[in-house]
Amino acid sequence: MRVPFVAANWKMNKTLPEALDFIEQIRGKLPAENNVESLICAQSLFLSQMMTAADAEPVKIGAENVFWEDAGAFTGETSPKAVASLGVNYVLIGHSERRNYFRETDEMVNNKVRAVLRNGMKPIICVDETMGQRESNEKVHWVVSQVIEALKGVKAEDAAKITIAYEPSWAIGTAAASAQQAEDGCYLIRQTIADVYNDACAEQVRILYGGSVKPSNQAALMAMPSIDGVLVGDASLDPETFLELVNYDA
């Protein structure tokens, strides 16, 4: 059984006091982690303080990015080994904003996925599809190839630790994909994992939909058979809305 997963992506938002205040506001109001797993991915610079503040809570704290080398002369980068040393469980990899603004390629994404796993953490691999690709009906190949490239060299026994987030960039911060569009993308991703590994593996991997998720559209999305959860940007910044999302009515 795949536990439903609600993951927040705060992006480059919030200061340390704001992040700690958020944790105070959700304290004691989160679902048990075997009912719904909840996660907040935040800026790396205050992950440590957030982990301490949320220590007794079921919510997990994750990073939004790491570099692929553990250490060395890479000024300004964030070491996956250092992030793992904080006790962080999850790392977002390959978000469309990283692919677009920071020119992350599939090869870089794959290196980062392997670095996260090597350091005992779990990657949430974001795969994207642009409006141009959707309109030209190219989306199938695009999403499939991003999944295949991201998983290169990842052993089947590690595949269960992976979460994939289907995040069409035309739906981020705009209007969500319909539940059926989201289901189609997530179904295709699970088929691709079955092709890369096997059916048993594909049944274990959690697949999330991301793009303008709100409490009002979440239940319809999560009712879809291939969708195990949601990755939420904007709506996750407000503590009350985050609580609605993690305590959603199935």
The answer to the question of residue 167 lying near ligand PEP (CB under 6 A) is yes
Query: Shortest approach of ligand PEP to residue 217 CB, angstroms?
Result: 11
Which amino acid, 96? S
**Cα distances (Å, whole numbers) of residue 151 to 80, 115, 178, 193, 212:** 18, 12, 27, 9, 26
Tell me which residue has its CB nearest to ligand PEP: 233
For 213-246, the DSSP string reads --HHHHHHHHTSTT--EEEESGGGGSHHHHHHHH
The nearest distance, CB 233 to ligand PEP, in angstroms, is: 2
State both tokens at 102. 């920071």
What are the φ and ψ backbone dihedral angles of 248, each rounded to 5 degrees? -65, 155
Helices H, strands E: what count in the chain? 12, 8
Q: Is 95 a catalytic residue?
A: yes
What is the identity of the amino acid at 227?
I
Residue 216, marked binder = no
10 Å CB burial of residue 36 (0-12, 13-18, 19+) is: buried
Number of chain residues interacting with ligand PEP (CB under 6 A) = 13
Q: Which is nearer to ligand PEP, 27 or 226 (CB)?
A: 226
- 213 contacts ligand PEP (rule: CB under 6 A): yes
**Of 44, 59, 233, 242, the one binding ligand PEP by CB under 6 A:** 233
Rank residues 97 and 184 by Cβ distance to ligand PEP and give the closer one: 97
Question: By CB under 6 A, is residue 186 in contact with ligand PEP?
Answer: no
Smallest separation, CB 56 to ligand PEP (Å): 27
Q: Cα separation of 55 and 35, whole Å? A: 18
Work out how close the CB of 87 gets to ligand PEP at its nearest, in angstroms, rounded to a whole number: 23
Tell me how crowded residue 130 is: count the other CB atoms within 10 A of its CB: 16
For residue 229, the cross-strand partners are 5, 208
Query: Which residue, 194 or 224, has its beta carbon nearer to ligand PEP?
Result: 224
Write out the two tokens for 117: 């796993």
- Known binding residue 212? Answer is yes
Tokens of 13: 């938002």
Q: Is 141 a known active-site residue? A: no
Going by C-alpha positions, the residue among 231, 230, 156 that lies closest to residue 193 is 156
Find the catalytic residue in 37, 64, 95, 183: 95
Q: Which is nearer to ligand PEP, 7 or 193 (CB)?
A: 7
Which C-beta is closer to ligand PEP: that of 110 or that of 218? 218
Can residue 117 be called a binding residue for ligand PEP (CB under 6 A)? no
* Known binding-site positions for substrate: 9-11, 173, 212
Binding positions for ligand PEP, rule: CB under 6 A: 9, 167, 172-173, 210-213, 231-235
